[in-house]
Amino acid sequence: MPHSALKRRNALFVLFLLPGLGMSSWVTRTPDVRDLVGANTAQMGLILFGLSVGSMVGILSAGPLVSRFGTRPIIVAGMLSITLGVGIVGLGAAIGNGALVAFGLALFGLGMGGGEVAMNVEGAEVERLLVRSVMPAMHGFFSLGTVVGACFGMLMTALRFPVVAHMGLTSALILAGLALSTRHIPAGFGRREPAVHTATEPAPKAAPWRDTRLLFIGGVILALAMAEGTANDWLPLVMVDGHGFDAAWGSAVFAVFAMAMTLGRFVGGSFVNRFGRAPVLAASAVIGAFGMAGVIFIDHQPWVVVSVVLWGLGASLGFPVALSAAGDTGRETSGAETAARVSLAATIGYIAFLVGPPVLGILGEQFGLRTAMIMVLALVIVAVLLTPAAGTPRERRMEPVEDRGHV
């Protein structure tokens, strides 16, 4: 196993952790931010729309930018945008300006959207080099970042620590992690070289968006990303407004969700290696649907927490495993082709982040957040029917490779 591939993998572990830290720092303070800016549920949906718009711009631009510059510059630019965005969110909350919070979230989403595509392209290449499933573990570090950030955010909420200071500390940590890790990401990977045509070259592949299998995989990402994003955007408020938890306990329940996501992602790779992508994705969607149904329809607080655990476990593998499958549809081609396919699948998935927050906010204002979540539950149920697209005619089982002495 090449030592450089291990360093590259470990650098990606850190780079996936940092946005999770930033995301949960924001999410755990959403009730405080709402109060500081004086927003109702529908207005919070519009503020969250900044995150969605930024994410979509980042996703749509990432594929062409990676093709032109490679993955490393896009990762660095994305992390810097996240760092700045987190700081602006804190500043906007401190002065009670909802528009500034939305702008900070847009910068955060821009960095998340663009940087995540580039990191997933890197992750698909590391999987190829290591000959085993590592994408769930990479996303597991994102979830680990959300756990660390959520626990810290819960403490900051309970202590009534100023939101602006909390966000400033988070920005500094993200910047430090970026400086330590990016030197292990090779320059140039993912950049599309000018085509050299020869008489013997194979016919060019059809555009990725013409690949029906890839579109179905994108549909799975759409549903399970919506399930994950709903928790990231709304779970503390669902617990506070829908189930009667106070703000600190609402943050604690989000921490439970993040822990379940982390557990699912760290153990999920072994299940993928053993059973294949399609069965694991189908099981994940079913478990997630049961968890969401419990949050929607059960009024007993301890059982709601159990349902949140199922929701987190079910949503944990959707994004990483389906993105890995998307990259695999172009594995026999160039790194640039893989980047284009991952970008397309992620773009379809990020539609969930674009339409989810404002739609759930508007529906939640009219019918309550719990009732509004039925829409997301229906999408997850549909995703079960699409999961066979993530398999192959001979469902690949990546055999683990011994890792001697490296973390």
Is there a domain that residue 140 lies in?
Answer: yes
Please check whether residue 12 is in contact with residue 115, taking contact to mean a CB–CB distance below 8 angstroms.
no
The answer on pLDDT for 407 being more than 50 is no
Return d(Cα 195, Cα 15) in angstroms, integer. 32
Return d(Cα 203, Cα 189) in angstroms, integer. 24
Average pLDDT on 263-267 reads 90
Return d(Cα 12, Cα 331) in angstroms, integer. 20
Is there a domain that residue 347 lies in?
Answer: yes
Is there a domain that residue 128 lies in?
Answer: yes
pLDDT at 174 (0 to 100)? 94
- What residue type is assigned to position 405 of the chain? G
Is there a domain that residue 127 lies in?
Answer: yes
Return d(Cα 150, Cα 152) in angstroms, integer. 5
Instruction: Give me the residue label for tokens 């990762």.
Output: 75
Please check whether residue 82 is in contact with residue 18, taking contact to mean a CB–CB distance below 8 angstroms.
yes
Is there a domain that residue 400 lies in?
Answer: no
Return d(Cα 188, Cα 182) in angstroms, integer. 13
Query: What CATH number should be reported for the domain holding residue 73?
Result: 1.20.1250.20
The answer on pLDDT for 87 being more than 90 is yes
Return d(Cα 366, Cα 254) in angstroms, integer. 24
Is there a domain that residue 407 lies in?
Answer: no
The answer on pLDDT for 342 being more than 80 is no
Is there a domain that residue 197 lies in?
Answer: no
Please check whether residue 78 is in contact with residue 108, taking contact to mean a CB–CB distance below 8 angstroms.
no
pLDDT > 70 in the chain, percent: 86
Is there a domain that residue 218 lies in?
Answer: yes
Task: State which residues form the domain around 300.
Answer: 3-189+209-390
- pTM of structure: 0.75
pLDDT at 369 (0 to 100)? 82
Average pLDDT on 8-35 reads 89
pLDDT at 393 (0 to 100)? 46
Return d(Cα 328, Cα 211) in angstroms, integer. 13
The number of folded domains in the chain is: 1
